[in-house]
Amino acid sequence: MTRKKVLVMLGAVVLAVGIALAGIWYNAQLPPLAYPGAPAQDAEILFTTWADRYPAEGLAALTLRTTLQWLAVTVFCTLAAVVLALYYYKHQRELGYFLLYLAVLIAWGAVIILFPISLDPVAAALKRCFFPLTVLAPILLSSALTGVAPVSRTQKLLVLVLTMGYFPIALHSDARVRAVALFGGMIYCMGLLLLAYAKGSASVLLLLFPYAVTAGLRTWVILPGLDLSFFSESIRFYLVRCARIYDIPFTLGCMTFVCRRFALQFDRTEHLARELDERVVQRTRALTEESEARKSMMLNIFHDLRSPLFAVSSGLDTLEAAPDALPALLPAMQQRMTFLRRLTEDLFLAAKLEQKQVMLNEDRVSLSEAAAAVCESCQNEAAKKGVTLTTRFDAELPVWGDAMRLQQIVQNLVTNAIHYTPADGTITVHSFAAEGRALVLVQDTGCGIAPEDQAAVFDRYFHTTADTKHDSTGLGLTIAQELAHLHHGEITLESEMGKGSCFTLALPLLED
């Protein structure tokens, strides 16, 4: 616990004690309601007798008392109406306890106004019942508002037993026993609030200091029942006791605490609403961009489909007119059909990946062996273009995945490198382990990728803005990245214009 918290808690205790001591001192300066040696009588009878003896002063005192009584009841009723409205729209347990507390205060205030004299045994018993309720109700309300409440079944049972045992003591016929019980209840509630503040809830100060004021004022109400030699209740203090204004500070503190909590909830709601609006805007923008990208992709696909189809169609028309041209036209037609078949296969796989319909036949796979098999099959294609394909595989690199799909990832990377690497260029495929991951680097000496294109290189149907022409479908890197994600991995890119590109496949490495 910090020094600041200790000082604040000590300040709350000093405030309560200081108000009580200040009241005792000030009361001693005023004429007492009952003079020493006078027979024990009800305080209201003594007050009425004094008012009859001094009509002018008595009328002013009665008017002041009535005004204060109705003022207190009005405050409690107003707060009850506000809390009831809040409870109607938001059924929270804390608001229910607050309504219970306010109902007790309103009922007791009404009883004091309607039955000021306690000669009737029923009225006297009813008054004795209310004060313990106004001590227990703040305890219940403070527990609910601060969250410092019994949790386990044993704790709840213990609290119930203590509460049931408290009432007989608080309702005891001996005024001193009742006073001690009431003091104990107030000290317990004060300790409860101090404990809640000590646990780190700074907002409890909205309850702690108002209750300290109320506890100090309530001390003036309890002291007359102790029949102490140094405290003989004065007329002014009796007016305060009848008016019940001493409960207003804690009640207003509770109202402030509740309003603060609702204000924070409203702030959180508004913040969440703004976040939701921003997410909706971002999602709408993303969907719009995706829709535009899809339209662009479809246009590109239609364009690339038309070219081979037009070439094949034109070749067939030529063959129909001149069958002798078959040897010259056949290689070009085969090349166009190969591209068409590859484009169709890539489109079909990309669609399946987008719909999450690609199933992996997972097993333990050596990533180095998969990469070696791909490089061996791509040697002929690289040689035809005059590109040197070199490999270096440092270890077995065991990973968990689908061997065929892993080969497809590496093949797309190697094929892409061959497409963008000019004759006499070099492609290096290197596999190794680092930081618990299996890595395959595919580095080329091609044209490189412009910085403005690197962020979109894995987008569907991406073509670099470079002038290099090739037969790529534009889906290879997209398919490779999505397959890498299915294997809980990722492909990253490093590229510099004129110096080439380096694609790195990283997958989780299996431990032996």
In this predicted structure, what is the pLDDT of residue 469?
A: 47
Q: Which residues fall within 8 angstroms of residue 84, CB to CB, at 6 or more apart?
A: 99
Of 442, 440, 467, whose CA–CA distance to 453 is shortest? 467
| pLDDT tops 70 at residue 15 | yes
| pLDDT tops 80 at residue 358 | no
The string of pLDDT tens digits covering residues 309-338 is 777 787 787 877 788 777 877 887 777 777
Check residue 276 and give left, alpha or beta (phi > 0: left; psi -120 to 50: alpha). Answer: alpha
In this predicted structure, what is the pLDDT of residue 427?
A: 93
In this predicted structure, what is the pLDDT of residue 81?
A: 93
Residues in the chain: 512
The string of pLDDT tens digits covering residues 217-254 is 988 888 887 777 778 888 888 888 888 888 899 999 99
Distances (CA, A) of 355 to 16, 169, 358: 69, 73, 8
- Residue 119 phi, psi dihedral angles, 5° rounding: -70, -30
In this predicted structure, what is the pLDDT of residue 223?
A: 84
The string of pLDDT tens digits covering residues 138-197 is 888 888 888 776 656 776 676 677 677 776 776 677 778 878 888 888 888 898 899 888
| 16-30, 46-60, 169-183, 263-277: least confident range | 169-183
**Which structure tokens are listed for 52?**
């009859």
DSSP strand E in 154-290: where? none
CA 395 to centroid of chain Cα atoms? 46
The string of pLDDT tens digits covering residues 78-100 is 999 999 998 888 888 888 888 98
Residues 214 and 250: their CA atoms lie apart, in Å, by 6
Answer with the residue of higher pLDDT: 205 or 231: 205
CA 147 to centroid of chain Cα atoms? 18
